[in-house]
Amino acid sequence: MNTNETSAELNPADIQTLSNVGILLNNEKRAGTYILKNYQQHMTSRSSEGLEVLPISTALKKYDWLREKYYFKLIKPDQDEITAACAEQKVPFGYYIHVDKGAKITNAFQAGLFITCSQMAQVVHNVVVLEEGAELNLITGCAIAARIGSVQHYAVSEHFIGKNASFTNTMVHSWGEKVKVRPRARTIVDDGGVYTSNYICMRPAQDMESEPITWLNGKDSKAKYETIIFGSKGSYIKTGGEIFLNGENSGAELAHRAVCTGGKIEQEGLLIGNAYNCHAHVDCAGMLLDPGEEGYILSIPGLKALHPEAHMSHEASIGKIAPEQVEYLMCRGMEESEAISMIIRGFFDADFDYLGDELDVRIVEIAKLAGHGED
């Protein structure tokens, strides 16, 4: 059944802000849309067999079992100030997504969370449940409007992936110089389940720390984190991730990619092998274009083996763009910034078509700064 709940007015500037982080309105290739503008909700959901999407407050009223079975079950309400802020909301904001057993949602569902007012804290709690054999691709875009002051964005997300279910969770962030961001994501995966987490930071916040945790409890369960970070002057970004490989034959991979033009970037990842024949790999790579006086990239890939049959490996590398690579491309007719853009694109080794042109625009901006040696 089609649903349409609207309490947020979206103007052309809002629509452009959302488009820059992959939220494309009036797009027939989306299974539906949820938008939170400050604390106003706007949701449209087209008919899609087996998919239910509700504001989390509506879902908690509709289903008594939701609070007992899923809400704050993967993370404690009093774990830290972020979870406490979410738990203290009288009317929680965020979304509840449920995919029925065996339902395969062909098109991605998209959720846009953005802020247009200064001096506010946007606090959300999201719950995603995939039953056995279900498939879902979720795109979440988070951003702020241009020229706004100090704001905070706190988010708790809990994901439950059933047997042989597949969940691709793509997050695109575009923040600003006076933004504090604290996501808290927790995921549990059953037998044969697959969880893929893509995180892209287009424009960094002043202060961002991400601490996702995934439990691969099922046999043959899999997880992959892929992170792309742009760090610019004045920003502090800490991306991590812990994956517990508790299921037999489970597998996990963390792949971090960071480009620094003056920001402080810390890449961390810890994989805990606790099952027979589990396989894990951490790969942290950084490109230091122009750190300025205070910028840096710190890479700390971590492994912890708790089972004698765990197979685990890691690697880390930090470097710069080799001048000979740029010269080679320029000899073939490219401008310097164009050559640097191509090298950065290749460094990321990722294809995110749903972002439209915004990723390439951001890469070109950074390439021009690198080419002129500016912060």
pLDDT (average), residues 83-90: 93
Domain-embedded: residue 60: yes
Domain-embedded: residue 169: yes
Between 227 and 371, whose confidence is greater? Answer: 227
Domain-embedded: residue 141: yes
Domain-embedded: residue 220: no
Q: Are residues 151 and 8 in the same domain?
A: yes
Q: What are phi and psi of 148, to 5 degrees?
A: -110, 160
Q: Sign of torsion, CA 207 257 140 112?
A: positive
pLDDT (average), residues 132-148: 92
Instruction: Give residue 155's pLDDT.
Output: 95
Residues 6+ apart with CB under 8 A from 365: none
Domain-embedded: residue 105: yes
Pull the structure tokens for residue 149.
Answer: 């002051």
Per the prediction, the chain carries an average pLDDT of 87
Q: Is the pTM of this model over 0.95?
A: no
Q: Are residues 38 and 183 in the same domain?
A: yes
Domain-embedded: residue 273: no
d(CA 338, CA 325): 12
Query: Where is the domain boundary, 211, 232, 261?
Result: 211
> CA torsion 59→65→71→72, rounded to 10°?
160
356: pLDDT confidence band, cut at 50, 70 and 90?
Answer: low
Is 84 a residue whose pLDDT tops 90?
Answer: yes
Is 325 a residue whose pLDDT tops 80?
Answer: no
Q: What is the DSSP letter of 354?
A: G
pLDDT in tens, 146-186: 878 899 999 999 999 999 999 999 998 889 888 999 999 99
Q: Are residues 58 and 192 in the same domain?
A: yes
2: pLDDT confidence band, cut at 50, 70 and 90?
Answer: very low
Print the domain residue range for 357.
324-375
For helices 358-372 and 336-348, the axis angle rounded to 10 degrees is 120
Q: Are residues 194 and 49 in the same domain?
A: yes
Is 4 a residue whose pLDDT tops 70?
Answer: no
Domain-embedded: residue 30: yes
Phi-psi region of 10 (alpha: psi -120 to 50; beta: other; left: phi over 0): beta
Domain-embedded: residue 192: yes
- What percentage of residues in the chain have a pLDDT greater than 70? 86
Q: Are residues 202 and 330 in the same domain?
A: no
Q: Are residues 33 and 175 in the same domain?
A: yes
Contact (Cβ atoms closer than 8 angstroms) between residue 237 and residue 230: no
**Structural domains of the chain, count:** 2
Contact (Cβ atoms closer than 8 angstroms) between residue 126 and residue 158: yes
6: pLDDT confidence band, cut at 50, 70 and 90?
Answer: very low
281: pLDDT confidence band, cut at 50, 70 and 90?
Answer: very high
Instruction: Give residue 374's pLDDT.
Output: 41
373: pLDDT confidence band, cut at 50, 70 and 90?
Answer: very low
d(CA 70, CA 243): 20
Query: Where is the domain boundary, 211, 243, 274?
Result: 211
Taking CB atoms within 8 Å and a gap of at least 24, the contacts of 64-68 are 66/96, 66/127
pLDDT (average), residues 321-329: 73
Residues 6+ apart with CB under 8 A from 203: 173, 174, 175, 176, 230, 232, 362
Instruction: Give residue 282's pLDDT.
Output: 92
pLDDT (average), residues 13-25: 86
Is 202 a residue whose pLDDT tops 70?
Answer: yes
Query: Where is the domain boundary, 166, 187, 211?
Result: 211
Rounded to whole angstroms, the maximal C-alpha distance in the chain is: 66
